[in-house]
Chains A and B, each alone.
Chain A
């Protein structure tokens, strides 16, 4: 589904590139709010023992950096009450809390605890499986003569599945997209990325993660309020603060942003000929 949506955005962008300029607006800054980024990826054939949690806060819109949150207590438990401690990295990497003995299991439910400034935040999620990426095909399809479409194939399982895709390239990571198996359920299907600057020798890695339906909803809200350059979104929905699965147990009104996600991951690398 997401595929269709993304295409529409790109397409309408073509007709509306009318005239863009940067304007200087006086924007207010709300008091900082905790942001939890806990995206646990367990790549197939890897141990998944190393995981990290990043704690930051919101910043003024024009600020160059987001402040990190140091001195928090972070740990994760599973349904068997195993506790995995996350300790803050040393200077230079403060705000990153890492664990080296995490034990990932597909279908297991985990709870994240973050204690900071006397408030306890928790989040509960399930580790979602993903099929293996099997092959990559590069075609000339696209919106523009220069465009190349990279399709990474996998066999979608029979039940309803939700996916998160990321792209890695030398000096670049991004290309975040989410999609489900609506229209293609149970088929040998693909995730598509359109490039306009591929040249021989480029190595492109496609990452595919299994995500929960709740995370899919979260990401679709998040991506719908994020504007990208050269894509004007005529289907723009109202701007809202996107709430994830982090709950402030001490003071519910002081909610945190971000999400605690656990995914099995699969990747495939393609070298442009």
Chain B
């Protein structure tokens, strides 16, 4: 670490000062860009200055700022599927101007859409980033007609998941707990409903999403592999509107409108599943359902100050014959204040409270179980638009965590359960960062930043102490890992520091523009993660607990390198993005064989530190214009994990050999297309083809008592059959010309058109009747047609 400081920090400051010297005698054009019909701000809208060929994009609050020498300029404002505005602006003083774009689809253009956000970004060092607009997501065919934000990102290169119905997603070989999922800046701990079949995000309430797979800016931290940044809509501040949809599984309704016209708006959206009601009618006593609620209040105090209050509340409820009740979900409240110190300095302050709750009632065991994570987050982020060639982002982020691994109570007087409280855990995670983007020459732009993250594990808690500090011991005779018995415990009082860690996380990117259509880029990022999701299964379950780092569970760190080639063809009608990446992860936890993780108070006794590596090639080819648009994404990759023995005598996990991660997919191809036939009909299709999951097939079996036990060789050396499916959808708008009052639309979709029986899992067991062993394939989704009706007024 020290050598890094000495070598890199002076260079960092040098760049900073050169930039300041040249930023004189300029004026600033700044403002916000919004949709003229709703006043909803647009994220990532482009501002292009023709004379200087300067390009800027709006930030996540729709704000932009460009500094230019005095003069008269032609300014072009554009955004995907919106028209383009061209204006001449004379800059002889700082100019503050807000622009409003009108949606091109509302003008019933049958002409091709020209402005497009999705063309490859040639100029800036930003790479390994994918954006999807909600319009694109809504066009994709989906299981049972449920528009799914998380499933949509699986069509992007470098993104996979463990299988159908598996929750979570894996980015460039990262584990599912290594994704930072932000909803309006607030961290979401569990992103799926009903064991991963649906995501917790209501697409109607969402404006935009951006997925960072690499080159992650210094502003983000706390997770290793990716950032999924999701922004909710602010709500229409011009007029009251409602949108909604009726589907097979769930229905949703959303209301938005002005509180004070053009200054304040509200948005409230709800969604609930009701398939369980039909099940009840059919005499089924068991039920599973979910609901969620998105709310947002936005208020513009004046030109320089905006306030946003947003909230999310979601719950899953599972019930079996009154014997088993399970409730879990997230609740998030978030207050943000945007403040403009000057035309060049934009600030956002966020105060976030988030609560993940998991509760279980087991009546015939007589047990009630509550667990959860509460966190309090304060963020202050500044964007400093120093010149058209130099931008700085800096700020701080602090999070206080309160983990409740479990409160156990007897459910009634006749219960035999002893009340128990598993040790609560507390932690504080502050970080500061600075990030610069600088254009060095006409063709060369760099970004460089540094994040300094810290982590304090706090009391009150009694911590176990072990011989030689080893919580897991290797039994050399039996060749198995076993739990160590603590020799003592040490009490830490409230607020005492139990363990602390810090990491310097450099982030560097460079873009070299070959010409206006092509560029090459490279990036490096280091990340640190102080929380571990304790799970021994291939995909997370809601019952999994998060554990903060301590002396036994060390923070995970990652180094990632990526290089890429980016190109737009034919005036960005087509674009190509290719990247190769290599990443390695330290301190990835692995579990000793047979580790029991549920209600385990001493997780350190069942985990060993391992490492992981992943490398791959990603290709994304897009067709951006015309009636047929879409993309082909292909990833060739390998993801492996290794947990060697700590001494030469120890076997390690899987004999200390590298093994494939459960979500390793050698080939991953996805073709996503949509076709606008006419204003009434449009069509969508997705084809996915992936290598089968890495699994372990038995190489024999044996009999132990009454139990037939499969025997296995090395871990994850076999592959399930290839996974593929084709999904199609058709959208019918009966009255496309209607722009006021009730506007309806039908979405017909067929998931898995040719009824491919994909293996969600293959299990090896004895047939109860014949006694013979057999391999049994479980397929979750066959062909599933569905109809959804969407409306707005």
Inter-chain contact A232/B702, CB cutoff 8 Å: no
> Which of B541, B595, B708, B775 touches A23 (beta carbons < 8 Å)?
B775
- Taking CB atoms, residues of chain B closer than 8 Å to A255 are 479
- Taking CB atoms, residues of chain A closer than 8 Å to B321 are 142-145, 147
B442 at the interface (CB under 8 A from A): no
- Given A1-B598, A226-B709, A247-B477, A240 and B699 contact (CB-CB distance below 8 Å): no
- Given A7-B365, A18-B780, A228 and B704 contact (CB-CB distance below 8 Å): no
> Which of A61, A184, A242 touches B593 (beta carbons < 8 Å)?
A242
Inter-chain contact B699/A30, CB cutoff 8 Å: yes
Inter-chain contact B780/A259, CB cutoff 8 Å: no
Interface residues of A in 170-220 (CB under 8 A from B): 173-174, 176, 182-190, 192, 214, 217-218, 220
How distant is the Cα of A18 from the Cα of B195 in the complex, in angstroms? 14
Interface residues of B in 444-501 (CB under 8 A from A): 477-480, 482
Residue of B nearest to A218 (CB): B594
- Taking CB atoms, residues of chain B closer than 8 Å to A29 are 699-700
B1 at the interface (CB under 8 A from A): no
Chain B: minimal CB distance from A114 (Å): 15
Interface residues of A in 140-159 (CB under 8 A from B): 141-145, 147, 149
Residue of A nearest to B365 (CB): A3
- Given A1-B599, A58-B702, A228 and B696 contact (CB-CB distance below 8 Å): no
B97 at the interface (CB under 8 A from A): no
- Taking CB atoms, residues of chain B closer than 8 Å to A241 are 711-713
- Taking CB atoms, residues of chain B closer than 8 Å to A252 are 479
Q: Spot the interface stretch: B79-87, B120-128, B756-764.
A: B756-764
How distant is the Cα of A176 from the Cα of B780 in the complex, in angstroms? 29
Q: Mark B233-248, 1 if CB is under 8 A from A, else 0.
A: 0000000000000000
- Given A61-B701, A145-B321, A245-B478, A22 and B757 contact (CB-CB distance below 8 Å): no
- Given A190-B416, A237-B537, A27 and B699 contact (CB-CB distance below 8 Å): yes
Q: Spot the interface stretch: A8-16, A44-52, A84-92, A97-105.
A: A8-16
A169 at the interface (CB under 8 A from B): no
Inter-chain contact A15/B288, CB cutoff 8 Å: yes
How distant is the Cα of A147 from the Cα of B320 in the complex, in angstroms? 12
A118 at the interface (CB under 8 A from B): no
B778 at the interface (CB under 8 A from A): yes
How distant is the Cα of A231 from the Cα of B329 in the complex, in angstroms? 25
Q: Spot the interface stretch: A33-41, A70-78, A264-272.
A: A33-41
B679 at the interface (CB under 8 A from A): no
- Given A27-B697, A192-B365, A236 and B778 contact (CB-CB distance below 8 Å): no
Inter-chain contact B775/A4, CB cutoff 8 Å: no
- Given A16-B778, A19-B757, A145-B321, A56 and B596 contact (CB-CB distance below 8 Å): no
How distant is the Cα of A5 from the Cα of B591 in the complex, in angstroms? 18
Inter-chain contact B195/A22, CB cutoff 8 Å: no
Inter-chain contact A242/B709, CB cutoff 8 Å: yes
Interface residues of A in 228-273 (CB under 8 A from B): 228-229, 232-245, 247, 252, 255, 257-259
> Which of A25, A61, A63, A223 touches B710 (beta carbons < 8 Å)?
A61
Q: Mark B584-595, 1 if CB is under 8 A from A, else 0.
A: 000000010111
- Given A139-B364, A187-B418, A221-B594, A56 and B195 contact (CB-CB distance below 8 Å): no
B768 at the interface (CB under 8 A from A): yes
Residue of A nearest to B698 (CB): A61
> Which of A57, A174, A243 touches B702 (beta carbons < 8 Å)?
A57
- Given A61-B701, A144-B321, A176-B707, A240 and B416 contact (CB-CB distance below 8 Å): no
Inter-chain contact A35/B478, CB cutoff 8 Å: no
Inter-chain contact A35/B702, CB cutoff 8 Å: yes
Inter-chain contact A18/B779, CB cutoff 8 Å: yes
> Which of A1, A39, A237 touches B536 (beta carbons < 8 Å)?
A237
- Taking CB atoms, residues of chain A closer than 8 Å to B699 are 27-30, 61
- Taking CB atoms, residues of chain B closer than 8 Å to A217 are 482, 594
- Taking CB atoms, residues of chain A closer than 8 Å to B478 are 243-245, 247
- Taking CB atoms, residues of chain A closer than 8 Å to B706 are 166, 173-174, 176
Inter-chain contact B703/A225, CB cutoff 8 Å: no
Chain A: minimal CB distance from B280 (Å): 14
Inter-chain contact B762/A25, CB cutoff 8 Å: yes
A120 at the interface (CB under 8 A from B): no
- Taking CB atoms, residues of chain A closer than 8 Å to B777 are 20-23
Inter-chain contact B537/A59, CB cutoff 8 Å: no
How distant is the Cα of A101 from the Cα of B408 in the complex, in angstroms? 47
> Which of B286, B420, B482, B774 touches A14 (beta carbons < 8 Å)?
B286
How distant is the Cα of A183 from the Cα of B362 in the complex, in angstroms? 13
B781 at the interface (CB under 8 A from A): yes
B423 at the interface (CB under 8 A from A): no
Inter-chain contact A243/B761, CB cutoff 8 Å: no
How distant is the Cα of A14 from the Cα of B320 in the complex, in angstroms? 9
Chain A: minimal CB distance from B411 (Å): 12
B773 at the interface (CB under 8 A from A): yes
- Taking CB atoms, residues of chain A closer than 8 Å to B543 are 8, 235
How distant is the Cα of A209 from the Cα of B781 in the complex, in angstroms? 43
Residue of B nearest to A220 (CB): B594
B307 at the interface (CB under 8 A from A): no
B705 at the interface (CB under 8 A from A): yes
> Which of A21, A185, A234, A239 touches B712 (beta carbons < 8 Å)?
A239
- Taking CB atoms, residues of chain B closer than 8 Å to A187 are 416-418
Chain A: minimal CB distance from B471 (Å): 15
Inter-chain contact B703/A239, CB cutoff 8 Å: no
A138 at the interface (CB under 8 A from B): no
- Taking CB atoms, residues of chain A closer than 8 Å to B711 are 30, 33, 58, 241, 257
- Taking CB atoms, residues of chain A closer than 8 Å to B482 are 214, 217
- Taking CB atoms, residues of chain A closer than 8 Å to B165 are 16
Q: Mark B385-421, 1 if CB is under 8 A from A, else 0.
A: 0000000000000000000000010000000111010
How distant is the Cα of A140 from the Cα of B631 in the complex, in angstroms? 56
A107 at the interface (CB under 8 A from B): no
How distant is the Cα of A22 from the Cα of B165 in the complex, in angstroms? 20
Inter-chain contact B596/A7, CB cutoff 8 Å: no
B285 at the interface (CB under 8 A from A): yes
B722 at the interface (CB under 8 A from A): no
Interface residues of B in 528-554 (CB under 8 A from A): 536-538, 541, 543
- Given A252-B479, A257-B702, A220 and B365 contact (CB-CB distance below 8 Å): no
B650 at the interface (CB under 8 A from A): no
Inter-chain contact A25/B775, CB cutoff 8 Å: yes
A43 at the interface (CB under 8 A from B): no
A66 at the interface (CB under 8 A from B): yes
- Taking CB atoms, residues of chain B closer than 8 Å to A22 are 774-777
How distant is the Cα of A233 from the Cα of B705 in the complex, in angstroms? 22
> Which of B695, B702, B775 touches A66 (beta carbons < 8 Å)?
B702
- Given A14-B286, A14-B320, A188-B416, A21 and B776 contact (CB-CB distance below 8 Å): yes
Inter-chain contact B195/A19, CB cutoff 8 Å: no
Chain B: minimal CB distance from A241 (Å): 5
26 residue pairs A–B, Cβ–Cβ below 8 Å: A4-B367, A11-B318, A11-B324, A18-B760, A23-B762, A23-B776, A27-B699, A30-B711, A33-B711, A37-B703, A58-B701, A61-B764, A147-B321, A183-B417, A221-B594, A222-B707, A225-B710, A226-B709, A229-B767, A235-B536, A235-B541, A235-B543, A257-B702, A257-B704, A257-B709, A259-B704
The 6 A-B residue pairs with the shortest CB-CB distance in the complex, in nearest-first order? A221-B594, A141-B364, A227-B763, A30-B699, A239-B696, A227-B765
Other 12 A-B pairs with CB < 8 A, given A25-B775, A166-B706, A239-B696:
A4-B362, A5-B598, A7-B324, A22-B775, A33-B702, A145-B285, A218-B594, A237-B594, A238-B696, A238-B715, A245-B478, A258-B704
Q: Could you list which residues of chain B lie within 8 angstroms of chain A, going by C-beta atoms?
A: 165, 194-195, 285-286, 288, 318, 320-321, 323-324, 362-365, 367, 408, 416-418, 420, 477-480, 482, 536-538, 541, 543, 591, 593-596, 598-599, 662, 695-713, 715-716, 757, 759-765, 767-768, 772-782
